[in-house]
């Protein structure tokens, strides 16, 4: 069984307050984007037992041990409750890591959905969201995979009637790693004058200057190259540009398709049309 986990972008991201547990309350709008990985599961050959998940990785390099990959953790979580057959998983990584695009969370959520379908677990979307939320704050977004307003630590969801269908998007990820911990350390939490869920309902041409990502305030001074990419996107004609999540990717929205751009060697660029 084969599926294609997709990325997301953040439309606005406001860090509202630091919680007693050390996390931060925030508000943002998640929007799906067709930057995709490829995820395949098959029954483990010559293996009659249950409870084993063998993960093969290709594409962009992922550090660490495979047993710590969220795809494996998603399998183990369902295996504890349902006693799943042993599987072999092939994951081709195309979504860049450390980009604020939710690639790892998407892989895990799509793994949950695929196991549910393949083995007839009959889990509802609500139940799948419950499992996904145990793997990461934004992981549950990818279960329904539709425009969503997120609150809390990014885990309290409300659907939002928003369509950017037909807009051209450029997603640019330089070869820079931004530590989420460091990005939060330089944040000054505050309530926004206007909620992102209200701003995104305005015409996109009115977003600039209103729909903000608070992380830009702390990340751009540390990594001026990321801020320059945002400037380049506006120079290319973007009607709105922003960093996604805590970085380091930046995206631009365009009314018309764009064919010529150059962000330098070693930079990941996705060029597509939003659905």
Show which residues are catalytic: 8, 138
Q: What are residue 191's phi and psi, to 5 degrees?
A: -80, 135
Residue in 265, 173, 275, 268 with CA at minimum distance from that of residue 226: 173
The angle, 0 to 180 degrees and rounded to 10, between the axes of the packed helices 70-82 and 125-133 is 120
Q: At 51, is the secondary structure helix, strand, or coil?
A: coil
Structure token pair of residue 70? 């969220």
Q: What are residue 222's phi and psi, to 5 degrees?
A: -75, -35
Identify whether 274 is preceded by a cis peptide bond (ω within 30 of 0).
no
179: left (phi over 0), alpha (psi -120 to 50) or beta: beta
Helices (H), the chain: 70-82, 103-118, 125-133, 141-144, 180-185, 196-199, 215-222, 224-235
């Amino acid at each position: 069984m084969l599926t294609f986990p997709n990325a997301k972008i953040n439309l606005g991201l406001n860090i509202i307050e630091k919680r007693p547990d050390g996390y931060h309350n925030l508000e943002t709008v998640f929007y799906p984007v067709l930057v995709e990985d490829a995820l395949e599961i098959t029954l483990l050959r010559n293996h009659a037992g249950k409870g084993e998940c063998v993960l093969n990785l290709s594409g962009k390099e992922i550090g660490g041990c495979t047993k710590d990959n969220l795809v494996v953790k998603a399998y183990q979580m369902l295996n504890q409750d349902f006693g799943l057959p042993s599987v072999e998983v092939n994951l081709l990584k195309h979504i860049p890591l450390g980009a604020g695009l939710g690639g790892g969370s998407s892989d895990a959520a799509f793994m949950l959905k695929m196991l549910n379908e393949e083995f007839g677990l009959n889990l509802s979307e609500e139940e799948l969201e419950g499992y996904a939320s145990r793997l990461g704050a934004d992981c549950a977004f990818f279960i329904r995979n539709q425009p969503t307003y997120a609150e809390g630590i990014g885990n309290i969801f409300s659907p939002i009637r928003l369509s950017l269908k037909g807009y051209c998007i450029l997603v640019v990820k330089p070869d820079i790693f931004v530590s989420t911990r460091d990005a939060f350390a330089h944040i000054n939490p505050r309530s926004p004058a206007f909620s992102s869920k209200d701003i995104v309902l305005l015409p996109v041409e009115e977003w600039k200057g209103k729909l903000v990502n608070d992380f830009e305030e702390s990340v751009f001074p540390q990594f001026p190259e990321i801020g320059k990419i945002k400037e380049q996107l506006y120079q290319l004609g973007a009607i709105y540009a922003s960093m996604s999540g805590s970085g380091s990717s930046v995206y631009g929205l365009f009314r018309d398709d764009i064919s010529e751009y150059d962000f330098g060697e070693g930079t990941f660029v996705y060029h597509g049309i939003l659905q």
